[in-house]
Amino acid sequence: MLLREDFEKRREALEFADANAWVGPPLEQGFQACESVAELNELLRRASVRRALVMHTACVSYDRAEGNRMTLEAVAGRDDMFAAIALVPDVSIGGYLDEAIARKARAVRLFPKAHSFSLAEWCAGAVLDEMLARRLPLILWHSQATWEQIHDICTGYPELTVVVEGAGRKILYDNRIFYRLLADCPNFHLELHNLTNSLAVEDIVARFGASRLVFGSFAPYHEPTAAMMPVTHARISDEDKRLIAGGNLRALMDAVRTGGGDA
Amino acid sequence: MLDIIDAHAHLGPWPSFEAIGSTVEDTVSLMDHLGVARVLTVHHAGLFGLLEEAARWSEEAYEASDGRVLSYLVYDPNRAAQSLSIIRASLGKPHLVGIKIHPPKHNCPADDERYRPVWELAREHGLALISHTWGRSADNPAQNYSFPDLFERYVAEYGEVRFVFGHGGGRCDGFLACARLMKTYTNSFMDITGDGFLRGRLKHFVREVGSERILYGSDSPWIDPRFTLGEVLGAEITDADRANILSRNAARLFGLGEK
């Protein structure tokens, strides 16, 4: 069988769920973007992605409230799409979060550098408490925080799922640091789109288990299949591949609930 | 079955991250798993002034891999005489496929006169020349020494030399510049290594310059070989383009027959 056909079959079999998909104007110069969420959906479907967490780039680059509105509108009515929303420190967000969850929000990204706030407990603690109460996972770009801040959040909120994405700067240089976090913080996870170190999937699975890795592609800005082959062709068990490809993300999303206990 | 050739990878440790997979054994094991017939490597030591060691370890890698791990040797413009001597001593040896230059690592702009000796050597002996090339960077200004436009001086003057834009310019501005230069200079090639898996970049290059001068490469251990392999397999290009990129172009460029 041709390598391409084999790759397609493996992708299809693993039921990928993508934690890192975007709509809206590109954040950086590129060759192709998606004009609409329908186009994004088609791109992901062709790549055999069955479910996606989507964020509108306006959440980062313009205004998180307006971006969240656009994100929630984009995923409405699409069974295979859910929303990642952006938050900033706010005195009362519980009601906002419950409404967002009812409209398919399943994760939160914080952008402390872009949005000028601190991740310290005295500034972001109230937001993290509300997220934790709703089992909303925190997704952070490593370029938006220091590793010390990430460590403090992981240890200060051990029940909060923290997923670090390698956007904005190469994360490969930091493997001596994030391996320490993998060892010490069971709630620390890594998303795959830019986790490029050779044999990273095999090595992390062997040392820390497959539950610590979450597939993400950074589609439509990156070719989604680039981050898929380190999973489809990893030298790990099929069960571990399924967890990384989509099982871990699905479990995180399915655990989200409102403050009243509904999702 | 296509024999994939990885035209740009590395051996050996790197100081600022744990270079998992950078031994000959790990490299060959992953090659076997993915169907990669041969890999063209640079030993990291050569980028740090350890030129003699890099040359020796490169030759040992060829032997240990039964001829599947081939090597570029580094020309360091700050150690020009030593570099040239070591490369000349390796001429004709089966593991040598070309010469690597790295302007940011050696703090020397690509169009600097200090690079003239290596272009002369490449022309004299018909050696391929590959360079790290990257987009402009405010965060890492040394990268500006390797912006594709800076190579035009020598690429134009030495039209007989087969030159590879390693990383194809690295970022979108670099990719665009690289493609422009490749349209003009048919002695130039590019590889797809690096972490710039931008959707549509392969389609852009194939449309602008054709697929006959694009080379698959991994950049391992910085980048796992499966990233760019997955990009090629998923890109909106033809199977013939894929075969060119994954195997035929490198086989032709470096004179590598079927294995």
Report the candidate in A92, A160, A111 with the shortest Cα–Cα distance to residue A131. Answer: A160
Give, for A207, the enclosing helix (H) or strand (E).
helix A200-208
Interval B30-65: pLDDT, tens: 999 999 999 999 999 999 999 999 999 999 999 999
Segment A48-81, tens digit of pLDDT: 999 999 999 999 999 999 999 999 999 999 999 9
Residue of A nearest to B193 (CA): A196
User: In the structure encoding, which two tokens stand for residue A174, read together?
Assistant: 């930091």
Q: How far apart are the C-alpha atoms of B228 and B243, rounded to whole Å?
A: 14
B13-32 pLDDT, tens digit each: 999 999 999 999 999 999 99
DSSP, residue by residue, B74-135: EP-GGGHHHHHHHHHHHTT-TTEEEEEE-TTTTT--TT-GGGHHHHHHHHHHT-EEEEE---
| Angstroms from A174 CA to nearest CA on chain B | 6
B86 contacts B51 by C-beta, under 8 angstroms: yes
Bridge partners of B214, per DSSP, are: B190
- Residue A227 and residue B227: Cβ atoms within 8 Å? yes
The secondary structure of residue B105, as a DSSP letter, is T
| Residue A179 confidence (pLDDT) | 98
pLDDT at B253 over 50: yes
CB A49 within 8 A of CB A19: no
- Residues whose CB falls within 8 Å of the CB of residue A202, separated by 6 or more in sequence, listed in order: A234, A235, A236
Per-residue pLDDT tens over the stretch B193-246: 999 999 999 999 999 999 999 999 999 999 999 999 999 999 999 999 999 999
Chain B residues touching A176 at Cβ < 8 A: 17-18
* CA distances from residue B79 to B50, B91, B110, B132 in whole angstroms, order as listed: 10, 19, 16, 18
B220 touches chain A (CB under 8 A): yes
Q: With contacts defined as CB-CB under 8 Å, which chain B residues touch A203?
A: 20
pLDDT tens for A144-173 read 999 999 999 999 999 999 999 999 889 999
Among A39, A43, A204, A229, the strongest candidate for a mutation testing the B interface, having the largest count of B CBs within 10 A, is A229
CB contact under 8 A, B17 and A226: no
Structure tokens at B52: 């003699």
Query: Alpha-carbon torsion A181, A182, A186, A187, what sign?
Result: positive
Amino acid B57 reads: W
Contacts of A205 in chain B (CB under 8 A): none
Instruction: List the single best residue of B5, B23, B41, B198 to mutate versus A (max A Cβ within 10 A).
Output: B198
Contact check, Cβ <8 Å, B224/A226: no
Q: Give the helix ranges, DSSP H, for B185-224.
A: 201-209
Whether B13 and B258 have beta carbons less than 8 Å apart is answered as no
Q: A-chain residues within 8 Å CB-CB of B36?
A: none
- Summarised one tens digit per residue, pLDDT across range B64-94 is 999 999 999 999 999 999 999 999 999 999 9
> pLDDT band at residue B258, thresholds of 50, 70 and 90?
low
Say which of A43, A199, A222 has its CB closest to residue B224: A199
Residue A174: closest C-alpha in chain B:
B17
Residue A100 has pLDDT above 60, yes or no: yes
B194: left (phi over 0), alpha (psi -120 to 50) or beta: left
Radius of gyration of chain A (CA): 17
Tokens of A193: 């789109």
A36-63 as b/e: b if 16+ CB within 10 A: ebeebbebbeebbbbbbbbbbbbbbeee
* Residue A177 in tokens: 């640091």
Residues of chain A in contact with residue B239, where contact means CB-CB under 8 angstroms, are 2, 4
B240 touches chain A (CB under 8 A): no
Whether residue B199 and residue A228 make contact (CB cut-off 8 A), yes or no, is no
Say whether B229 and A229 touch across the interface (CB within 8 A). Answer: yes
Q: Which of B139, B204, B230 is closest, CB to CB, to A31?
A: B204
Report which DSSP code applies to A178: H
pLDDT in tens, A248-261: 999 999 999 998 66
Tell me the chain A residues in contact with residue B2 when contact means C-beta distances shorter than 8 Å: 3
- At A33 the pLDDT is 83
Say yes or no for a CB contact (<8 Å) between B18 and A222. no
Q: Which helix (H) or strand (E) holds B189?
A: strand B188-191
Under a CB-based contact definition with an 8 Å cutoff, are residues B167 and B191 in contact?
yes
Pairing assessment for the beta strands B188-191 and B163-166 based on DSSP bridges: parallel
Predicted confidence (pLDDT) at residue A41 exceeds the cutoff of 90 = yes
Instruction: Report d(CA A32, CA B201) in Å as an integer.
Output: 8
All residues at 6 or more sequence positions from A88 whose CB lies less than 8 Å from its CB, including other chains? A64, A110, A115, A117, A127
Of A2, A203, A225, the CB nearest to B234: A225
Tokens found for residue A38:
């329908």
Give the model confidence (pLDDT) of A193-245 as tens digits.
999 999 999 999 999 999 999 999 999 999 999 999 999 999 999 999 999 99
CB pairs < 8 Å spanning A and B? 133
* pLDDT of B259 over the 60 cut: no
In chain A, the N- to C-terminal Cα span, in Å, equals 43
Q: Do B195 and A220 touch (CB under 8 A)?
A: no
**Angle A175-A206-A143 from CA coordinates, rounded to 5°:** 25
Distance between B15 CA and the closest CA of chain A, angstroms: 10
Question: Is B203 touching A (CB cutoff 8 A)?
Answer: yes
Distances (CA, A) of B227 to B194, B196, B231: 9, 10, 6
CA distance B224 to chain A (A): 4
Q: Which residue has the tokens 């979060």?
A: A97
| Chain A residues touching residue B172 (CB < 8 angstroms) | 28-31
Count of residues in chain B? 259
CB contact under 8 A, B234 and A30: no
State the pLDDT at residue A259. Answer: 82
A47 interaction partners in chain B (CB closer than 8 Å): 234
Q: E strands of A12-113, at which residues?
A: 16-23, 49-56, 81-87, 105-110
The answer to whether A225 and A48 are in contact (CB under 8 A) is no
| DSSP-based three-state secondary structure for A244 | helix
Confidence at A123, pLDDT banded by 50, 70, 90:
very high
Q: Are A127 and A162 in contact (CB under 8 A)?
A: no
- Give B241's contacts (C-beta < 8 A, 6+ positions apart): B206, B211
The pTM score is 0.97
Q: Residue A203 phi/psi, 5° resolution?
A: -70, -45
Complex ipTM:
0.96
Q: 3-state DSSP call for residue A206?
A: helix
B234 interaction partners in chain A (CB closer than 8 Å): 7, 47, 223-226, 228
Question: What's the mean pLDDT in B151-161?
Answer: 98
Q: What angle do CA A205, A206, A211 make, to 5 degrees?
A: 30
Which residue in A has a C-alpha nearest to residue B17's C-alpha?
A173
CB B214 within 8 A of CB B240: no
Q: Which two tokens stand for residue A42?
A: 């088609």
